[in-house]
Amino acid sequence: MKGTTDQQIDELLTYIDGTARNEVSFSFDVYPYLPGSTMLNFLLPYDVWEDGPLRVLAKLRDPRVRREFARGLVTSRTNLDNVHIAWLPGRENERHIGKLLSDYVAEVDKAPEDALCDLLIEENLAVLLVFHHGDDAMVGDFLAHDCYMMGTDGIYFPDGRVHPRMYGSAPRLLGPCVRDARLFSLEEAVTKLSDRPARRFGCAQRGQVREGWFADLVVFDEPTVTDTATYEDPHQLPTGIDHVVVNGTPIIADGVAVENLGDPLPGRSLTFQP
C-alpha cells in the first residue's frame, strides 16, 4: 500500500487477528510483489464517475476536473518517476509503452494533469500502469498470515508490459517465498494456493489430492520452481513446473503446453457450493 506506515500495518494485522477473525468468516489475498498495477483512470477524482463511465471523457476536458486531478496526484503522493505505462490500445501511442509517466509528460511537453487527461481521452480511458512502490514488511507479514490465500489481481494484455505477477505469483510463492524468505513451509504454500481458496469459494471436491475428487494437479520441482518474469520482460514462463493436469487432462507435459486438447476443453466454470 502506497504510503502505509509500519504502525498502520500492525494495526491492520491486529484487527485481522481480533475482530475480523473472531466475528466474521474472513480471508484476504495479496500477490507476492512490492509494485502494484492498475488503470490510469483509477487516479481520477471520484466525482467524475457519478454519471457513469460514458460521461467521463467529456468531463476530462473541464479545467476544474484537471485542477482537481492535479491536486489528487500531489495528495496521493503519486511519483511519476516510479510509474510506467504498461499497456494502451492505440497504435499512435504504442511507442510510449514501457515509459515512465514522468518521461511521457516531459516528451509531450504539457503539465502532468493535462498530459495524462489527454492520454486518457485519446485511449478511451484504457491505460494500464505499473507502480514501483511497496513495503517488504507489509507484503511478507500478509503472505505469512494464516488467513491469506494467493491472488494475482492480474490485468493481462498479450502485447503490453504487464505486471510480472501475471506469470510469477504462484511459482514465487512456492519457490522464493519458501526457500529464500522462509515465510512459511512448502506445505503451507500449497495450502494457500489450493485448499484454502477452494474452501473459501465453495469449490466442492477440489483443492486436495483425494480419491474421487477432481484431478486438478500441478507437479513441480521443489528445489528449482521459481518465477522468471520481470518488469522489463514480463511475458516469461516460470521454471520448475513440469506437469499441469486439469480435471484429469494434462495441459502441460514435461514443461510444454499440450496441443489439441479437444472439445470441450477440460476446464469448466465453477459455482459456489456451501
In a domain, 149, yes or no: no
Return the percentage of the chain with pLDDT > 90, whole number: 74
- DSSP single-letter state for residue 66: H
Torsion sign, CA atoms 155, 73, 89, 107: negative
User: What is the tally of structural domains in the chain?
Assistant: 2
pLDDT bucket at 134, cuts 50 / 70 / 90: low
Is 263 domain-assigned?
no
Answer whether residue 92 is part of any domain.
Answer: yes
| The three three-digit cell numbers of residue 216, written as one number | 486438478
Domain end among 131, 148, 182: 131
Q: pTM (2 decimals)?
A: 0.83
**Stretch 134-140: mean pLDDT:** 70
- Confirm whether 154 is domain-assigned: no
28-30/148-150 β-pairing: parallel
Residue 91 is placed in which grid cell? Answer: 497504435
Where in the sequence is the domain holding 66, given as residue range(s)?
Answer: 35-131
Asked if residue 169 and residue 116 are part of one domain, the reply reads no
The average pLDDT across 183-200 equals 97
Instruction: Say if 220 falls within a structural domain.
Output: yes
Estimate the crossing angle of helix 136-144 against helix 6-15, to 10 degrees.
Answer: 20
Is 145 a member of any domain?
no
The dihedrals phi and psi of 86, each to the nearest 5 degrees, come to -95, -30
Task: Specify whether the CB–CB gap between 42 and 86 falls below 8 A.
Answer: no
Least confident stretch, 2-11, 35-44, 240-249: 2-11
Is the CB of residue 177 less than 8 Å from the CB of residue 184? yes
Give the SS3 label for residue 242: strand
Tell whether 172 and 122 lie within a shared domain. no
How much is the pLDDT for 197? Answer: 95
Q: What is the pLDDT of residue 136?
A: 58
Average pLDDT across the chain, whole number: 92
Residue 69: pLDDT over 90: yes
Beta pairing class for 36-39 and 128-131: antiparallel
Same domain for 100 and 43, yes or no, is: yes
Q: Give a yes or no: residue 253 inside a domain.
A: yes
From residue 73, how far is each of 66, 69, 96, 99, 135 by CA, in Å? 11, 6, 20, 18, 20
Q: Which single residue is written with the C-alpha cell 494456493?
A: 193
pLDDT tens, 90-120?
999 999 999 999 999 999 999 999 999 999 9
Task: Answer yes or no: do 181 and 247 share one domain.
Answer: yes
Residue 213 and residue 225 in contact, taking contact as beta carbons nearer than 8 Å: no
**Are residue 183 and residue 228 in the same domain, yes or no?**
yes
Q: What is the DSSP letter of 226?
A: B
- Is 80 exceeded by the pLDDT of residue 3? no
Asked whether residue 24 is assigned to any structural domain, the reply reads no
Residue type, 228: T
pLDDT of residue 273: 86
Same-domain check for residues 97 and 185: no
CA 147 to mean position of chain CA atoms: 18
- Say which range, 153-157, 171-175, 225-229, 231-235, has the weakest mean pLDDT: 153-157
Residues 40 and 124 reside in one and the same domain: yes
- Per-residue confidence (pLDDT) for residue 137, from 0 to 100: 56
Whether 182 and 245 map to the same domain: the answer is: yes
Which of 64, 181, 83, 74 lies closest to 130 in space, CA to CA? 83
Confidence at residue 135, expressed as pLDDT on a 0 to 100 scale: 61
**Looking at the structure, do residues 115 and 53 belong to the same domain, yes or no?**
yes
- 59 and 109 part of one domain: yes
Judged by average pLDDT, the poorest of 21-30, 169-178, 242-251, 261-270 is: 21-30
Q: Using alpha carbons only, what angle is made at residue 123 by residues 119 and 124, rounded to the nearest 5 degrees?
A: 115
Do residues 71 and 114 share a domain?
yes
Contact 47, 74 (CB under 8 A): no
pLDDT computed for residue 200 by the predictor: 95
pLDDT greater at residue 204 or residue 7 = 204
Average pLDDT of span 42-54:
93
Distance CA 112, CA 98 (A): 17
Mean pLDDT, rounded, for 235-261? 95
How confident is residue 153, by pLDDT bands cut at 50, 70 and 90? confident
Q: Would you state the pLDDT for residue 4?
A: 65
For residue 236, what pLDDT is reported? 95
